[in-house]
Amino acid sequence: MKLQNKVVIVTGAGSGNGRAIALRYFEEGATVVVADINESGANETIAMAPAGSKGMVIKVDVTNPADVEKMVSQTVQEFGQLDILVNNAGIVAFTPFLELGVEEWDRVHNVNLKAPFLCSQAAAKEMIKAGRGGRIINITSVEAHRVVSSSGHCQPHYNSSKGGLFMLTKAIALELASHGITVNAVAPGVVETPFTQKGLENPEVKEWVLERVPAGRVGKPADVANAVVFLSYDESEYITGSTLVVDGGWTIH
Ligand SMILES: NC(=O)c1ccc[n+]([C@@H]2O[C@H](COP(=O)([O-])OP(=O)(O)OC[C@H]3O[C@@H](n4cnc5c(N)ncnc54)[C@H](O)[C@@H]3O)[C@@H](O)[C@H]2O)c1
């Protein structure tokens, strides 16, 4: 219960990693805004929170600047402050480079890169106004650092959006450090969520993944959530502009 006085927004909290992150914050006593474009998923998440938890659901399209402004102002109106933002909402699409259309390129970059920019800017303005510092945590991917190549696994737009978010994390960290706001990234490897479910149901894909992960198992959303919460503690105040890789050792080799 180290985050009892903190108010957190988690985007994409209606499923997978975002849900696990929101639930982990609830366990730590934080007040959590469960933000997602999928309202029913967000409602399911909040229903799973321990009894007595404080929080609310906000339906938001994180690519829409007006929605993002509203998400932040509603949070502050309801709970009086905003201490932590987790930019977790993300989408994936598999299309080889030569077949990739501009519409799909834009869709992936809008959710994975433009939205963290919009949400971080709106949240940082509020954090600076309050003068209490803050935390921004971006969920990137090991694919910000390397292209995972297996047959049919082509996602140059996903790679570039997550690589962009890796650098955006550093650039914002530099600008916000003097305000006591840290900005870090968590880069998961393969984690079992609806995002990867279809692939992992294929025994060949699962074997391909397991052969590469020294820890010998696929990641769990809780693995990601634990890293995010660690970066949220007051004790983590000297960590900024960093990426914490949570991949069971995949990218060691
Ligand atoms: N699962 C993995 O293996 C893995 C690996 C590396 C990184 N990640 C990253 O983790 C994050 C979460 O992925 P996940 O696996 O939990 O996926 P998921 O599909 O289970 O959840 C993503 C959530 O984001 C929400 N979302 C999508 N577009 C949105 C929008 N415009 N506005 C608001 N919400 C929106 C969805 O409704 C969904 O609830 C993503 O950023 C993803 O890139 C996942």
pLDDT tens string, the chain, 253 residues long: the values are 899 999 999 999 999 999 999 999 999 999 999 999 999 999 999 999 999 999 999 999 999 999 999 999 999 999 999 999 999 999 999 899 999 999 999 999 999 999 999 999 999 999 999 999 999 999 999 999 999 876 567 899 999 999 999 999 999 999 999 999 999 999 999 999 998 998 899 999 899 999 999 999 999 999 999 999 999 999 999 999 999 999 999 999 9
**CA-only gyration radius of the chain, Å:** 17
Residue 29: HSE in the Cβ half-sphere, 13 Å Cα cutoff: 7
Report how far ligand 1's centroid is from the alpha carbon of 215 (Å). 23
In a domain, 227, yes or no: yes
pLDDT, tens digit (0-9, with 9 covering 90-100), for 119-164: 999 999 999 999 999 999 999 999 999 998 765 678 999 999 999 9
Give the atom of ligand 1 at the shortest distance from the alpha carbon of 115: 31
CATH of the domain at 87: 3.40.50.720
Annotated catalytic, 25? Answer: no
Report how far ligand 1's centroid is from the alpha carbon of 107 (Å). 13
**Residues 5, 80: contact at Cβ < 8 Å?**
no
Number of domains in the chain: 1
In a domain, 225, yes or no: yes
In a domain, 123, yes or no: yes
In a domain, 77, yes or no: yes
Give residue 187's domain range: 7-246
Task: Give residue 91's identity as a one-letter amino acid code.
Answer: I
In a domain, 154, yes or no: yes
Structure tokens at 208: 């391909």
Report how far ligand 1's centroid is from the alpha carbon of 196 (Å). 10
In a domain, 252, yes or no: no
Residue identified by tokens 């499923």 is 15
Instruction: Enumerate residues 6+ apart whose C-beta is below 8 A from 113.
Output: 161, 164, 165, 168
Catalytic residue among 25, 158, 233, 238: 158
- Neighbouring CB atoms inside 10 A of 225's CB total 25
Q: What is the helix (H) or strand (E) element at residue 251, kind and residue range?
A: none
